[in-house]
Amino acid sequence: MKKGDISIRKARKDDSAFIAQVVAMAIGDEVALQNYCGDNYISVLTDIACTEHTQYSWRNAIIAECDGKVAGAVVGYDGALLEELRNGTFAVLQNKIGSTPNIANETEAGEYYLDSLAVMPEFRGYGIGRKLIDAFCRQAFSAGAERVGLIVDTDNPNAQKLYTSQGFKRVGDRIFFGHRMHHLQKTPF
């Protein structure tokens, strides 16, 4: 496939099933996904993405299209809203699977958090991930954020290389879903 026209747009509610795939790909660990959302995790993540006040809501996503086909997405939010958004996420989980996980906070107030990013395999290598990161950072900084943060698995050097090439710097480590993660941040300066 040759490189086509890439466009970036705000997500719509009808993108929810795609957003669920992106979140699952970003988490990348089937056991963690099952622990978080149950065996039918794509369906549960889709319900979460359809719901407005959740971490993975379509309202918190940006979509990339290549030649009119949905190719990738980024999901993120103001870290100050984590508890509120997590409560919405947990309400869906409680309703769908009857439980909620006990997980560490991955962000905090003062950080606009890039939660999930993925590009479908057939669209990789065209710079879509970079365009999504750039669009997300521009959105965060134009909303007044002083920094954008994310965590990346220490076992994923390619993702870390992508983020550092976009101006992110390592500021520490965190444990999330049982994995050691590097905490990276970017400032507009």
pLDDT, averaged per 10 consecutive residues of the chain (189 residues), comes to 81 98 90 87 96 97 96 97 97 95 90 97 94 97 96 92 96 87 93
The pTM score is 0.94
Full domain range(s) for residue 120: 6-186
1 in a structural domain:
no
Judge whether 31 lies within some domain.
Answer: yes
Q: Where are the alpha helices (DSSP H) in 9-76?
A: 16-27, 30-37, 41-50
| Number of structural domains found in the chain | 1
CATH number of domain containing 99: 3.40.630.30
**pLDDT for the residue numbered 58:** 98
Model pLDDT, residue 103: 87
For the chain, helix, strand, coil in percent to 5 are 45, 25, 30
